[in-house]
Structure 1
Amino acid sequence: MTASPDQVSLGVLLAAVDRDVIDTAIAACGVGAKRSDGKLPPRVVATLTMALCLFPDDDYEEVATKVTGSLSRFGCWDASWTVPTASGITQARKRLGPAVMAQVFEGVAQAVATSDTRGAWLRGWRLLAIDGFEVDLPDTPGNAGEFGYAGSGKHRSAYPKARVVALAECGTHAFLAARVGPYGTGEQTLAQGLYPRLLDDELLTADRNFYSWAAWDTAAATGAALLWRAPTQLALPVVTVLADGTYLTVLINPKVRGAGRRERILAAARDGLDIHPDEAHVVRVVEYDIPDREGNGTGELIALLSNITDPADARADELAGAYDQRWEEETANDQLKTHLRGPGKILRSRLPELVHQEIWAWLTVHYALSVLIARAAEAADLDPDRISYSRVLRITRRTATGTAGFSPSGLD
C-alpha cells in the first residue's frame, strides 16, 4: 500500500514531535534564547536538525530553504525572514548542545501499536526487540577521540564509528529507547541501561549475544516477559519437563560458588520451592530445529529462554513465532540506515557533541515516520509491513518543501 501526498508532510512529521516536548527539553537543558538576542532560537534549531536528517544529501542552506515554507504553514516562523548561512546553523547547533535532542526523543518515543495493530502482540504482551548497529562518522580528531575506530592497524575502519543499541516495537518498527556510545563499548554494556525501562505488559526478544546473568536479572526485575535465545555454551539442566515438551531450567548466578550450593538450588527448583532471585531464576526452555536451506543436513537447534513458565500463558509455537518477530528490528535498522540515511553515508557532524545531537534527531525522525505508517496501516486494516517505507519517505521529502526564509530571531 502507498500513502497519498496529503497524508504526509513535514508538518505531519512534526505533529508526532509535540512542540511542548521540544520546549521542555530546551528548558531542562538550559539553552533557551531570548527573542532579542539575535540568535537562531533553539526550537528552530531542533526542528532544523531533524530536517537535516530527513534530507541527508542536501547541505544546510538547501535544507533550510526546502523546509521553511512548510514550517511557516506549521506556525514555526515567518515567511519574511531570511535563510541563515551554513556556519550560522552550525553555530546554532553548537549552542543547542547534545542533550536537547536526546530529551526530545525520550519525550516523544512511546508505544505506537494499538490493540488493532497487526503483528504487534503475543496475547497481552507488546512485542519488543533489542539490537545494535554502528554509525560511520566524519574522520575528525574529535570524533576519533570520542568514538574510536573498528579494528586497528591495516584492518582499521576508514571512519570512526558510534555504537547504538535500541529497543524497537516489533509491530511498527518504532524505536522506543536507545543508548549511544563509542565503538569500543559493547552492546551488552549499552543494553544494560535500557532494561530498567521495560514494562510488565511488554515481551522483550533478544539474540543470544545479549544474554548474561546480569542482563537477565535486570530485565526480569521489571516484571516484563522475556524471550531470549540461549548462548550455545550456557548449561541448561532439566528441572521439570512440561506437558508441551518444553522444560524448566535454572539460571544460576555465577557468583554462587560451590557445587553443593548449586545442587541445593537445583533441588529446590525441582521441589517447587521459592528461590531467592539474587541466586537463580527458574525459566522455561523452548527448543526447536531450523532446517538448513540447502538441504545438506546443517540445520540449527534454537534454544529459547522465557520467564513465561506456564504453557497455558503462551504455547511453545507462540513463543517460537514471537521470537521470529525479533527480526523486525533488523527492518527498523535498515529503514534508518539504508533508506532514511542512505547506504554507505556517514553522518554530517564533525564534532562529537553534534554527533550525539544528530543521532538522536535521526532516531526521532524515524520514530515520527513509524507513527505515520502505523496510523495509516490501522486505517486500512493492514499490517504496517504492507506499507512501503521508501514510498512514504519519498512523499514526505517531496511534500516537506517550500521557499520561505527566517531570521535568526523571532521565536521564543
Structure 2
Amino acid sequence: MPFEMVDAALAETGTTQRRVRALPSRVVVYLLLAAALFADLGYPQVWTHMIAGLDLDPGDAGAGRVRVPSASALCQARRRIGAAPLRALFDLLRGPAGGPRTRGLWWRGLLICAIDGTQMCVPDSPANLAVYRRGGGHHGGTGYPMLRLVALVCCGTRTVIEAAFGSDRRSETAMTTGPSGLTAAMRPGMIVLADRHYGYAPTITALAATGADLLIRVRNNHRYRVEQYLPDGSFLSQIGSLPVRVVRVNVTIRTTAGRRCETYQLVTTVRDPSCSVLELARLYHQRWEIETSYFELKSTILRGRVLRARTPQGIDQEVYALLVTYQALRIAIADALAERPDLDPDRASFTIALTTARAQLTAAAGVLANPVDLIGVIGRRVLDALLPARRARTSPRVVKRAISNYTVKTSQNRVRGPSRTYTVEINTLAADDA
C-alpha cells in the first residue's frame, strides 16, 4: 500500500489533516494497519515497532530520537480520521487475486467463490453494548458482545471480494442480500458455494438474480418437484421461477477410527448434463476454503483475542484495518504464485507471510517499494518455505479460545483430536430415496 494509495483514500473521504500535526492522517492509517499485524500489543507499543528501524543519525540532536505520542494522543488521532479511509482502502484492494493459470481458481471457466459468516468478540463496554449484544439472553447476557462478519471469498487464493459486518442481531442472509450486502459484488462468471444456512428459496433467488451460478447445500428434508431425470441420477427442478438442478449424494468417510456416512442435498444453477454429480460434490468441498480464511483472520492474525476498540466507531475502523491487512498479505502471496501454475496456492503459508510482514515493518524495510519487484520479500519467503501438498486427512472440530487456560471438556478430555488419513466414497441417491 504505497503512500499515494493511502493519500488517495484520505482525500476521497475528506480526512486529510487541515494543518501540520505531529500525527498526520497518513501516519495514523499506517498505525492502524500495523496494529492489525501486532494484535497482542497496545497502540503505543505498535508505534515503537513502527519507528524501531528508522535510519536516524544519533549525532543529530534534532533527528536522533522520535518522540512516542501518548496513548491519549493516539486515541484522538484515530478518532479524527474515523473508519472511512480504511473502508476506502479496502475497496481499492478487495477482489480476486491470481491469474488465468492459477491452480484451483477456476472451474469450467467460472471463478470459484464462497459466502459464509463468522463471529468476533468486541470489548464489553457500555458504548459497544448499545450496538452489540452478549450471548445467553435468558440470564441477562454472558460473555463478550458479538460482531457478525460475512464475506464473499475467492476460494483459490482466499482473497476477499466483499465483506459486511455489524451486530449479530442481523442474520447472515440479511447481511448478504440486504442493502450494501455481498450480492453487489456477485456477477456472471462466478460460481458461488454456500452452506445450508443459505439454502432457502428467497435467499437462493436473491443470489441467482446477480447472474452468478450457485452451488448451495440445502436441508435433506427439502423436497423439489422432478421435471426431468438426468442419466447420473440428479434431476431438473425449479425454485419459484428459477431453473435448478438437484443433486443428492451419500458421502462416506473411512478412517482407522471407523466409518461415517452423511447425505448431502445440493441445489445448483449448473444444469449441463456433462457436469457429473461426482464433479459437483467434489466442487462443493472447496467451500471450506472460506473457513480457512476465517481461521487465518481470527486465529493466525488475532490469535483468538478480543478486538481492541471500545466504541462502535472504533470497531468499524479496526475491522476494516484487519480486512485490509489480511487482503494485502493474500495479494502478496497470490502475486508470488502468479507465474507458478505448477504450484497449488494451498502450499503457500499464511503464517510465514504474516511473520515476514511483521519483521519488515519493525526493520522499516521496503518502505519505498521497487515497482518492478512483483514478488517482493514476503513472496520470496513464502516460495522458499512451501508447505507439503495437502493430504487427505481429517480431525474432529474442537472449539477453544486461544487465550484460555482451560481445557475443553470432552469425553476424551482433550483439546485437539488426532488427525487421521481418510478415504471418501460418493454415491448418487435417487430423488425418492430417503
Category of TM-score, reference length = shorter chain = 0.7 to 0.9
Q: Give the match's secondary structure for 2:144.
A: coil
Say whether residues 1:355 and 2:312 are aligned partners: no
Q: Normalising by the residue count of structure 2, what TM-score does the alignment of the two structures yield?
A: 0.76
Which residue pairs with 1:299 in the alignment?
A: 261
Say whether residues 1:320 and 2:305 are aligned partners: no
Q: How does 1:92-111 map to 2 (within 5 A)?
A: 92-111=77-96
Higher relative contact order (CA 8 A, sep 6+): 1
Contact 2:114 2:153 in 1 (8 A): yes
Deviations 1:320-366 (A, max 9, x none): 221100000110000000101102x1011111100011001101111
Which residue pairs with 1:67 in the alignment?
A: 50
Which residue pairs with 2:102 in the alignment?
A: 117
Q: How does 1:323-342 map to 2 (within 5 A)?
A: 323-342=284-303
Contact 1:134 1:164 in 2 (8 A): yes
Q: Please point out which of 367, 391, 395 is paired with 2:327.
A: 367
Q: Give the match's secondary structure for 2:115.
A: strand
Report how many residues are paired.
354
| Residue 377 (structure 1) shift | 3.0
Q: How does 1:230-309 map to 2 (within 5 A)?
A: 230-252=218-240, 280-293=241-254, 299-309=261-271
Which residue pairs with 1:148 in the alignment?
A: 133
* 1:43 partner amino acid: R
Q: Give the match's secondary structure for 1:53.
A: helix
| Residue 52 (structure 1) shift | 0.4
State the alpha-carbon separation in 2 of the partners of residues 283 and 72 from structure 1.
Answer: 62
Say whether residues 1:90 and 2:50 are aligned partners: no
Which structure shows the bigger proportion of residues in strand conformation? 2
Which residue pairs with 2:8 in the alignment?
A: 24
| Residue 173 (structure 1) shift | 1.2
Say whether residues 1:45 and 2:28 are aligned partners: yes
* 2:141 partner amino acid: R
* 2:109 partner amino acid: G
| Residue 316 (structure 1) shift | 2.5
Q: Normalising by the residue count of structure 1, what TM-score does the alignment of the two structures yield?
A: 0.80
| Residue 128 (structure 1) shift | 0.5
Contact 1:163 1:180 in 2 (8 A): yes
Which residue pairs with 2:185 in the alignment?
A: 197
Which residue pairs with 2:150 in the alignment?
A: 165
Percent same amino acid among aligned pairs? 34
| Residue 79 (structure 1) shift | 8.6
Which residue pairs with 2:37 in the alignment?
A: 54
Q: Give the match's secondary structure for 1:350.
A: coil
* 2:23 partner amino acid: L
Which residue pairs with 1:229 in the alignment?
A: 217
Which structure shows the bigger proportion of residues in helix conformation? 1
State the alpha-carbon separation in 1 of the partners of residues 343 and 64 from structure 2.
Answer: 39
The CA RMSD over aligned residues, in Å, is 2.4
State the alpha-carbon separation in 1 of the partners of residues 36 and 55 from structure 2.
Answer: 19
* 2:10 partner amino acid: I
Which residue pairs with 2:163 in the alignment?
A: 178
Q: Give the match's secondary structure for 2:135.
A: coil
| Residue 59 (structure 1) shift | 1.8
* 1:152 partner amino acid: G
State the alpha-carbon separation in 1 of the partners of residues 358 and 315 from structure 2.
Answer: 23
State the alpha-carbon separation in 1 of the partners of residues 254 and 141 from structure 2.
Answer: 34
| Residue 155 (structure 1) shift | 7.9
Q: Give the match's secondary structure for 1:159.
A: strand
State the alpha-carbon separation in 2 of the partners of residues 69 and 109 from structure 1.
Answer: 30
Q: Give the match's secondary structure for 1:291.
A: strand
Deviations 1:59-115 (A, max 9, x none): 212211212366889xxxx99753322221111111111222122112210210211
Say whether residues 1:219 and 2:207 are aligned partners: yes
State the alpha-carbon separation in 2 of the partners of residues 296 and 63 from structure 1.
Answer: 49
* 1:23 partner amino acid: D
After superposition, the Cα gap between the structure-2 partners of 1:24 and 1:151, relative to the gap in structure 1 and judged at 3 Å, is farther
Which residue pairs with 1:401 in the alignment?
A: 362
Unaligned runs of 5+ residues in structure 2 are 57-62, 366-434
Deviations 1:266-286 (A, max 9, x none): xxxxxxxxxxxxxx2110112
Contact 1:149 1:183 in 2 (8 A): no
Contact 1:65 1:402 in 2 (8 A): no
* 1:51 partner amino acid: A
Contact 1:202 1:224 in 2 (8 A): yes
* 1:300 partner amino acid: E
| Residue 186 (structure 1) shift | 0.9
Contact 1:196 1:219 in 2 (8 A): no
Contact 1:120 1:171 in 2 (8 A): yes
Contact 2:94 2:161 in 1 (8 A): yes
Which residue pairs with 1:187 in the alignment?
A: 172
Contact 1:283 1:307 in 2 (8 A): yes
Unaligned runs of 5+ residues in structure 1 are 1-16, 253-279, 405-412
Contact 2:54 2:364 in 1 (8 A): no
State the alpha-carbon separation in 2 of the partners of residues 403 and 199 from structure 1.
Answer: 40
Contact 2:132 2:146 in 1 (8 A): yes
